[in-house]
Structure 1
Amino acid sequence: MDGLDHEDEWSDLSPLVAPGERDDETSLRPRTLDEFVGQPRVREQLQLVLQGATRRGAPPDHVLLSGPPGLGKTSLAMIIAAELGRPIRITSGPALERAGDLAAMLSNLVEGEVMFIDEIHRIARPAEEMLYLAMEDFRVDVVVGKGPGATSIPLEIAPFTLVGATTRSGSLTGPLRDRFGFTAHMEFYVPEDLEQVLRRSAVILGVDLRPDGAEEIAGRSRGTPRIANRLLRRVRDYAEVRADGAVDRAIARAALKVYDVDELGLDRLDRAVLSALVRSFGGGPVGVATLAVAVGEEQTTVEEVCEPYLVRAGMLARTPRGRVATALAWSHLGLTAPPDAPGWAAPTLFDE
């Protein structure tokens, strides 16, 4: 759903997304709050913010959307513009390297327009400082000239609504965070909501998705709609090539086995990390740099792609001495956990 985020928690099934795939991602985006599945608290709060602003005839407060990748932050930004009936201008934090880049965009905004900055925590400091004044007073100060002869020219800009998205809210500076009138934190989806997402996507893509097939895919989607939609497209390919096109539980399982996605949603790299940790280092503790070398990946890949889900799934523990495999990780690999593994419970007389 949130296809424009620049970081992804899960390593995709292929390093590149084909043009047709990108078109599919765009077509699967919900257009209104009523179409948006999940995040009930965020939807209710956002609806109140937008309806209140509409009744007052003024742009709503600036909105900050935070949470892991793939949960729908970009989709919500587009929905905000659609609900307000206003155009949206999209950019990203890394693209705003200079204050002049931001000033050019702000000066071209029309009244009431929505400006969306993805990964806003990565915006350059000079541009961020200019953004403070624009968010509060709807003006920017443009510096003309250099040295002692430089002058600052105030430039009025049209009232607008800034929507910022971040996967690392803790990386935002305090002054920037405080200038948002509404902050929403996106949570991971429960399987029931993911099944609803999959049913809607199946209708749009023309996939014959059976209830048990949707349940199987949702259970392997890491609580993330973007991943659920990707898996649905891969299962669709398998069903069309090796079956009659219908996606039931058996077809979903067979397809996801081909794509190395197991019953818990772990892919090849996830299992490689766990296997190295358990088999090569006895379950840890081991430093993440050493672990990355063992699996032949960059350290940042292990830290940003694998670790978040493995920790959330209870298979990996971060300790001051390094990463440690939990008892669940040993069990998932079909091995017996040592007594000192986190999460290990010794059998009692009452255990069979």
Structure 2
Amino acid sequence: MGDEELVERTLRPQYLREYIGQDKVKDQLQIFIEAAKMRDEALDHVLLFGPPGLGKTTMAFVIANELGVNLKQTSGPVIEKAGDLVAILNDLEPGDVLFIDEIHRLPMSVEEVLYSAMEDFYIDIMIGAGEGSRSVHLDLPPFTLIGATTRAGMLSNPLRARFGITGHMEYYAHDDLTEIVERTADIFEMEITHEAAAELALRSRGTPRIANRLLKRVRDFAQIMGDGLIDDVITDKALTMLDVDHEGLDYVDQKILRTMIEMYGGGPVGLGTLSVNIAEERETVEDMYEPYLIQKGFIMRTRSGRVATAKAYEHLDYEYSEK
């Protein structure tokens, strides 16, 4: 287990009442969970989607805790064959939660096994090969599948249609993220001022995972360059040295915008071309950087490609002129 994953598990809330932010998703889930428990039924299948680091995995664990059931965790890339999924499904107890991260990366042959499992709680598998092969019917206990994805558009229509509950995880409001930073600091016994927590939250792209990672780095600066207290001065100095500006843009974000402006006159430019020019994988740009740049109004998507906005020019001190 990596350090970042260990930190996330330490910080993970256990119940909806402890989960900060995502109020719309929480309020809906609270109703659906209570209703399922009153009927003594498995919760309907849940699809959680949104950019990385917004708490989809954490929410899956919270749902299982609220239901009082076990959670089995896996991910799309790990399940290579239908037999891998069959083994997991066959091991489920009544009411269990099966959490599949990156569910959009399931092979189609595996995905097709899920259809009957999700809809009617059974699977048909082929045993043997050739003329001696035969179909075996396996009944499954009622269970809840929670799928998480950063790319909901890549899910097939048949799979997406089998999720009765969908939750769109959005970037966190500044106040919620400030509260998360203060909670993390309290858990790890860091001394931080409210102003510093607010500044760090402002520059964390609305993302708890980034906020917690930056908090650890700012703590290092506070210990070496100060007396250990994390205040707004040390926070600004640390984040500036880490190339995180006051809009939360890091080196790669700025490189994307500068490349669009300097090499392509602000665009339009295709995502593939842009990715090659900044030496990043297309999927990395599309999943990790572009959503925030669009949400903050620095980039627009058009039919011809991505376009840098007037706000991007102003933020990076370029002169902007209408095309």
Q: Does 1:156 align with 2:136?
A: no
CA distance in 1, matches of 2:266, 2:120: 55
| 2:38 match | 55
Give the secondary-structure state (helix, strand or coil) at the position aligned to 2:123.
Answer: strand
Q: Does 1:145 align with 2:119?
A: no
CA-to-aligned-CA distance 1:51-97 (integer Å, 9 cap, x gap): 11222222211111122211111001101111122111000112122
Q: Is the 8 A contact 2:75 2:100 kept in 1?
A: yes
Task: Structure 1: give runs of 5+ residues left out of the alignment.
Answer: 1-17, 341-352
**Aligned pairs (5 A) from 1:12-31:** 19-31=2-14
CA distance in 1, matches of 2:15, 2:229: 29
If the length of structure 2 is used for normalisation, what is the TM-score? 0.94
Q: Does 1:41 align with 2:19?
A: no
| 1:75 match | 58
Q: Is the 8 A contact 2:123 2:137 kept in 1?
A: yes
Q: Which amino acid aligns with 1:94?
A: P
Give the secondary-structure state (helix, strand or coil) at the position aligned to 2:98.
Answer: strand
| 1:327 match | 310
Task: Structure 2: give runs of 5+ residues left out of the alignment.
Answer: none
Q: Does 1:310 align with 2:293?
A: yes
CA-to-aligned-CA distance 1:109-139 (integer Å, 9 cap, x gap): 1122111011112211111111111112222
1:110 to 71, 75, 93: 93
CA distance in 2, matches of 1:40, 1:301: 28
| 1:97 match | 80
Q: Does 1:166 align with 2:149?
A: yes
Q: Which amino acid aligns with 2:195?
A: D
Q: Is the 8 A contact 2:52 2:288 kept in 1?
A: no
Q: Which amino acid aligns with 1:73?
A: K
1:171 offset after TM fit, Å? 1.8
**Aligned pairs (5 A) from 1:123-202:** 123-202=106-185
Q: Does 1:213 align with 2:196?
A: yes
Q: Does 1:253 align with 2:236?
A: yes
1:35 offset after TM fit, Å? 0.6
CA-to-aligned-CA distance 1:11-47 (integer Å, 9 cap, x gap): xxxxxxx843332121111111111001112111111
Structure ranking higher in helix proportion? 2
CA-to-aligned-CA distance 1:131-150 (integer Å, 9 cap, x gap): 11111222211201222332
CA distance in 1, matches of 2:165, 2:270: 39
CA distance in 1, matches of 2:148, 2:16: 17
Cα distance change, pair 139–186 in 1 and its aligned pair in 2 (3 A)? same
Shifted more, 53-62 versus 209-218: the winner is 53-62
CA distance in 2, matches of 1:235, 1:141: 54
1:226 offset after TM fit, Å? 1.2
CA distance in 2, matches of 1:130, 1:67: 25
| 2:186 match | 203
CA distance in 1, matches of 2:220, 2:45: 41
CA distance in 1, matches of 2:70, 2:309: 49
- Output the aligned Cα RMSD: 1.7
Q: Is the 8 A contact 2:16 2:26 kept in 1?
A: yes
CA distance in 1, matches of 2:115, 2:219: 47
CA distance in 1, matches of 2:297, 2:84: 43
CA distance in 2, matches of 1:182, 1:297: 34
CA distance in 1, matches of 2:322, 2:257: 18
Shifted more, 313-322 versus 154-163: the winner is 313-322
If the length of structure 1 is used for normalisation, what is the TM-score? 0.87
Share of identical aligned residues, percent? 50
1:245 offset after TM fit, Å? 1.3
CA-to-aligned-CA distance 1:189-230 (integer Å, 9 cap, x gap): 110111111111111111112110011011111111111111
CA distance in 1, matches of 2:300, 2:61: 37
1:107 offset after TM fit, Å? 0.6
Q: Which amino acid aligns with 2:10?
A: S
Give the secondary-structure state (helix, strand or coil) at the position aligned to 2:211.
Answer: helix
2:15 to 13, 23, 32: 32
1:312 offset after TM fit, Å? 1.9
Give the secondary-structure state (helix, strand or coil) at the position aligned to 2:317.
Answer: coil
Give the secondary-structure state (helix, strand or coil) at the position aligned to 1:90.
Answer: strand
Q: How many residues align?
A: 323
| 1:15 match | none
Give the secondary-structure state (helix, strand or coil) at the position aligned to 1:47.
Answer: helix
Shifted more, 313-322 versus 192-201: the winner is 313-322
